[in-house]
Every structure is written in structure tokens, then in C-alpha cells.
Amino acid sequence: MFDVLAGALYDIHAEYQIRDKIVRTTTDNGSNFIKAFHVYGAQQDKNNNVTDTEEASCSGEEDEEEIQEEEEGEVNFQEVTSVLDEGDGIEYHLPKHQRCACHLLNLVSTVDALKANSNETYKKVSRSSFSKCQALWNKSAQSATAAETIEDACKLQLIRPNTTRWNSMFFAVERIVRIVKEQGEGAIRDVCASFKIPMLNPSELAFLAEYSARVQWPRLSILQAETNIQMGWLIPTLTQLKTKLDRIKPSLKFSKPLVDAIQLGLKNRFSEILEDPELIAAAILLPKFKTSWTKDEAILKKGLDYINMDMEPLMPLGASQILCSLA
């Protein structure tokens, strides 16, 4: 299947004559996409190693068979026609691969965040809070009457989370917290009583307020925008997120284990991206950011060196003049 994807991408590039204009191709983290770019890409992307149990892994059976044959020292004969049909393995030429940042963030906010449950206190309060919220969301989706009951009591409808949007849980929890803030606990209590659902206790309400106000990251939705978004937004946005998490962690009462799990997930999944000179240069070359998004001189030096050395032939005015404008 991966070679079919590679062939389709190659044909599209050739048809529209954009093969030499594409620097990178961004896809989701499906194993077929990853293997297609691993085999046919311009160079192997260090971030394309499939190590997560939540993603399908690329099969290595063919390589193992070849190694075994070499070790046995046996000569295997094949028909010439079968060899010619297989091709030389370099029939497609694809650009570098860039994993979808939003897909990676989805894995951080779902798979990696679950590691916070290793803390028993967090596990207890989060499970009890989310189970009661889930009961409310389920009831709101059962009938139009239930939705009207919620709107009459809360003056707002509930937002139900879904598995396809990584920040949907944040917005769903935020809506419940907003109702409590604007209409009081009595509004949610009346709804829970109508549906015979246990009411959220004060500790659970405090946890949800902390979760929605501080821990998750609604502003990262900018990475999902279809306009006014360039590759240069990626590293500054992730850097801002890391800074925010470091700043809020000391003040958290319930969610420190969640922040620790998110920080570890960001480190594991984005460490290579955050040090990629080409992506750093993309951020520096955006007038909105320039060099103001980080104080790490080593990181900025990587991007500036890339601009000065690797981009010099592409710039009619020279990279040195651009570097002066960034100062």
C-alpha cells in the first residue's frame, strides 16, 4: 500500500509540474505514509520512526528474510521476468516528510496524557470528574427533549467531545465550567437531578476549572488553520506552550501529574522538530516572530546559520542583508 501512495504523490507532482518546488510534504502519522517517505523520500526523517503502540508499525519481515538468507549462505535463483517486474526500488522520488503537528498533539493529549494516571490522587479525581461529565454528554445526545432541558437550565448547550479533534475534550470541559461560572452550580445540579446523574462535588468542579483554565492549550488551534498559517508558526507555538506549562505548574493543585505527562510527551514527540534548523529558520524569517520567540541563543544560532549558509544561493539580495534586518 505504501508504494501505491508514493506513486500517487509522484504522479500528482509530475502532472502539476511542482516536483522541484515542494520542500516538504506534511501527512498524518499513518504507517503507510511514513514508510512511503522512508523508502522514497529525499532523506530519512528522524521523526518518522514508528514506535508508538497507537500507530500501525511498518513490517520488517522482508528485511529479516533477506538477512536470514545471507547468513545461511544459500544461493536463491529467480526468474528474470520477476526481477524486472519488481523494479529497482527508486522509481519514485518524494520530498522530505513532515509529520502533522496536530496529529502529534492529539497523541500527546490522549495517549501521553494517560500516563498521568500513574498518580493515584490524580487518577481518582480525574476519573470521577470525567465519568460524571461523560454521563451529562451522553444524556444531552439522547433526545431533543434532553437538549432542551439543558438549555433551559443552563442557557447554553453542552459541547460533546469526539475522537477526531485533539482539543475537543478541552472545549467540552470548558463549556461546563463556563455554565457553572455564569449560571451557578444550581444550573448543573438541576440538570443532574433531572437526568438522575450524580452531581459534581466541589473537588471535581475545582479540577475541571483548573483543567480548562490552565492545563490544556486552546490557542494551539492556530496550527489547524487553513489560512494565514505557515511552517514558521510551528516552533514558536510549541515553544510558547512549553513556557506556559513551566510557568503554571507550581500553582496547580490537582493537575501537576497531567502537566508532567504532557511535557514528557512533547519532549518525546517534538524534540527533533524543535531543533530542526530549517524549521527554526522558517520561524525567524516570519516578520511576526523574527527572534523574539525564544531566548535560547543556541537555537537561534542554528536557524541563523541555516539562513546564512544554506539559503544564500536562493536570495538575490544575500542572506547577510536579511540577517541585518532581523537584528
181, three cell numbers: 461560572
Phi, psi torsion values for 243, nearest 5 degrees? -65, -40
What is the reported pLDDT for 109? 85
What is the reported pLDDT for 312? 62
* Residues with pLDDT less than 70, the chain: 43-90, 166, 214-220, 311-327
What is the reported pLDDT for 79? 52
What is the reported pLDDT for 51? 45
Are 126 and 147 in contact, with CB atoms under 8 Å apart? no
What is the reported pLDDT for 152? 93
What is the reported pLDDT for 77? 46
pLDDT in tens, 91-149: 788 998 988 888 888 889 889 999 999 999 999 999 999 999 999 999 999 889 999 99
Domain locations in the chain? 2-99, 119-215, 275-327
